[in-house]
A and B are shown apart, each in its own frame.
Chain A
């Protein structure tokens, strides 16, 4: 016995089809009793995410709340690394709120009463839908800098405080420019680690959108998204933000050396 076919179509008009390994795994599950879909510990064996979605939907249809709970637990546990991957750079409290909202969104998609392209795509490539759901929540989450997160001074061994900017490595080739110009994945990794050294998420976002995503500061055409419209401030202040981000990254890079 095989699973019922999906009902939606891609933008190209092609019908949605599960990948063969998923179809095979669902057949394997349907060949055994539902109670054996999860182990005695309450954790599912290693079903694929897409298979778990299908099995959860079957249990929901049959009002089997016990197995529904166990399968949902397994699905969300396996989904967690993808949620983490696309919700980085937030503090613990914000992260918990974001993850709660993503969990609710995923559950609503898994248990959608009427199939949509997004809900059905969970049975084709669940990680892409999890990524989409996470980014949707993150995109609605207002970054607010935490006052305690700002570090504008450093303390030396004698306890003397001095402005952070005085501790930046000076002269010669800017190490950030050097890293930005490099293509090797190892150095890209260093650069991306430095991004997390930027304490104000708005500064980090301004830096990334300008330097990596080519957003303009301003544009005479109001239809074109710009950094000024994104942040609601002028170019001069955005440049200050970006320079602050660069200074913090440069300091972090200097500390790494």
Chain B
């Protein structure tokens, strides 16, 4: 049996929902009598539940991709932290970068940054910037799909590998920094304009970015 005499707040709230209780004041009072330790959280939960249950009008569905991509990144970070902790228990605190770096994934498929860049119509610096999270969202999803096709991984995984806090270019640079290391980022359009791509290729990427019908990530 895993029933605890003092269940967690998560489990208490789940039981209320599983029991099909209504967020009435009377039910709140009963819950408070049963679990006085969680008084503030229960009051806040019942208030939010009561309000949300009343708001049933239809609203346009919001885009799911950003939500899902962010969650994938969170899952991979968590998984990587655990894997690192298992392998190097004393260095678990270092586990704050994604499990899979873009450049590492490309290398496993036998591509250098330059070779990958050539296959997807970018340049080597752009791939390096994506690898180090220096180009934050929004970016054209099509770019990640092309990279994913080239290195045979799902686009979502490529997006996760290129999303998160900026990563220092080298450990040495981080060690040399006297104060907090400021890592610059730039928009996708800025990065394209500064790239070595042909004018025609730059224009194509910028147009893709500007197209409102093209999904972004």
Answer whether residue A63 sits at the interface, using C-beta atoms and an 8 A cutoff: yes
A113: B residues at CB distance < 8 A: 82
Answer whether residue A111 sits at the interface, using C-beta atoms and an 8 A cutoff: yes
Task: Establish whether residues A66 and B55, one from each chain, have CB atoms under 8 Å apart when the complex forms.
Answer: no
Answer whether residue A36 sits at the interface, using C-beta atoms and an 8 A cutoff: no
Task: Establish whether residues B71 and A209, one from each chain, have CB atoms under 8 Å apart when the complex forms.
Answer: no
Task: Establish whether residues A9 and B29, one from each chain, have CB atoms under 8 Å apart when the complex forms.
Answer: no
B78: A residues at CB distance < 8 A: 107-108, 111
Q: Is the interface of B mostly helix, strand, loop or mixed?
A: helix
B64: A residues at CB distance < 8 A: 76-77, 80
Q: A69-B157, A128-B17 are in contact. Are A193 and B72 (CB under 8 A)?
A: no
Answer whether residue B23 sits at the interface, using C-beta atoms and an 8 A cutoff: yes
Q: How far is the CB of B10 from chain A (nearest CB, A)?
A: 4
Answer whether residue A212 sits at the interface, using C-beta atoms and an 8 A cutoff: yes
What per-residue 1/0 map shows which CB atoms of B6-29 lie under 8 Å from chain A? Answer: 011011011101100001111011
Task: Establish whether residues B72 and A135, one from each chain, have CB atoms under 8 Å apart when the complex forms.
Answer: no
Task: Establish whether residues A116 and B10, one from each chain, have CB atoms under 8 Å apart when the complex forms.
Answer: yes
Choose, from A18-26, A98-106, A154-162, A170-178, the stretch at the interface.
A98-106
A116: B residues at CB distance < 8 A: 2, 8, 10-11
Task: Establish whether residues A208 and B155, one from each chain, have CB atoms under 8 Å apart when the complex forms.
Answer: no
Task: Establish whether residues B54 and A195, one from each chain, have CB atoms under 8 Å apart when the complex forms.
Answer: yes
Question: Complex Cα distance A196/B58, Å?
Answer: 11
Task: Establish whether residues B67 and A230, one from each chain, have CB atoms under 8 Å apart when the complex forms.
Answer: no
Task: Establish whether residues B2 and A131, one from each chain, have CB atoms under 8 Å apart when the complex forms.
Answer: no
Answer whether residue B51 sits at the interface, using C-beta atoms and an 8 A cutoff: yes
Task: Establish whether residues A189 and B56, one from each chain, have CB atoms under 8 Å apart when the complex forms.
Answer: yes
Task: Establish whether residues B55 and A195, one from each chain, have CB atoms under 8 Å apart when the complex forms.
Answer: yes
> How many residues on the B side are at the interface (Cβ–Cβ under 8 A)?
63
Answer whether residue B79 sits at the interface, using C-beta atoms and an 8 A cutoff: yes
From B3, B47, B54, B75, A72 is in contact (CB under 8 Å) with B75
Q: How far is the CB of A105 from chain B (nearest CB, A)?
A: 9
Task: Establish whether residues B15 and A72, one from each chain, have CB atoms under 8 Å apart when the complex forms.
Answer: no
Question: Complex Cα distance A97/B72, Å?
Answer: 16
Task: Establish whether residues B24 and A69, one from each chain, have CB atoms under 8 Å apart when the complex forms.
Answer: no
A106: B residues at CB distance < 8 A: 71
Determine the residue in chain A with the shortest Cβ distance to B52: A86
Q: How far is the CB of B216 from chain A (nearest CB, A)?
A: 14
Task: Count chain B CB atoms within 10 A of each CB in A43, A73, A84 and give the residue with the most.
Answer: A73
Question: Complex Cα distance A211/B82, Å?
Answer: 49
Task: Establish whether residues B57 and A66, one from each chain, have CB atoms under 8 Å apart when the complex forms.
Answer: no
Answer whether residue B197 sits at the interface, using C-beta atoms and an 8 A cutoff: no
Q: A80-B67, A103-B70, A118-B8 are in contact. Are A11 and B3 (CB under 8 A)?
A: yes
Q: A84-B62, A132-B14 are in contact. Are A103 and B32 (CB under 8 A)?
A: no
Question: Complex Cα distance A99/B29, Å?
Answer: 29
Determine the residue in chain A with the shortest Cβ distance to B18: A128
Answer whether residue A167 sits at the interface, using C-beta atoms and an 8 A cutoff: no
Answer whether residue A47 sits at the interface, using C-beta atoms and an 8 A cutoff: no
Task: Establish whether residues B76 and A69, one from each chain, have CB atoms under 8 Å apart when the complex forms.
Answer: yes
A193: B residues at CB distance < 8 A: 57
From B45, B51, B156, A42 is in contact (CB under 8 Å) with B156
10 extra A-B contacts, CB within 8 A, seeds A77-B64, A132-B17, A196-B55: A42-B148, A65-B100, A69-B72, A70-B156, A70-B157, A77-B67, A117-B3, A139-B49, A196-B57, A213-B24
A-B contact pairs, 15 of them (CB 8 A): A8-B2, A9-B1, A41-B155, A60-B79, A69-B154, A73-B71, A73-B156, A81-B61, A85-B52, A107-B74, A117-B2, A131-B17, A139-B47, A216-B25, A225-B29
Binding site for A on B (CB under 8 A): 1-3, 7-8, 10-11, 13-15, 17-18, 23-26, 28-29, 32, 41, 43-52, 54-57, 59, 61-62, 64-72, 74-76, 78-80, 82-83, 99-100, 148, 153-157, 160
Binding site for B on A (CB under 8 A): 7-11, 13, 38, 41-43, 56, 60, 63, 65-66, 68-70, 72-74, 76-77, 80-81, 83-89, 95-96, 99-100, 103-104, 106-108, 110-111, 113, 115-118, 121, 125, 128-129, 131-132, 135-136, 138-141, 188-189, 192-193, 195-196, 204-205, 208-209, 212-216, 223-225, 230
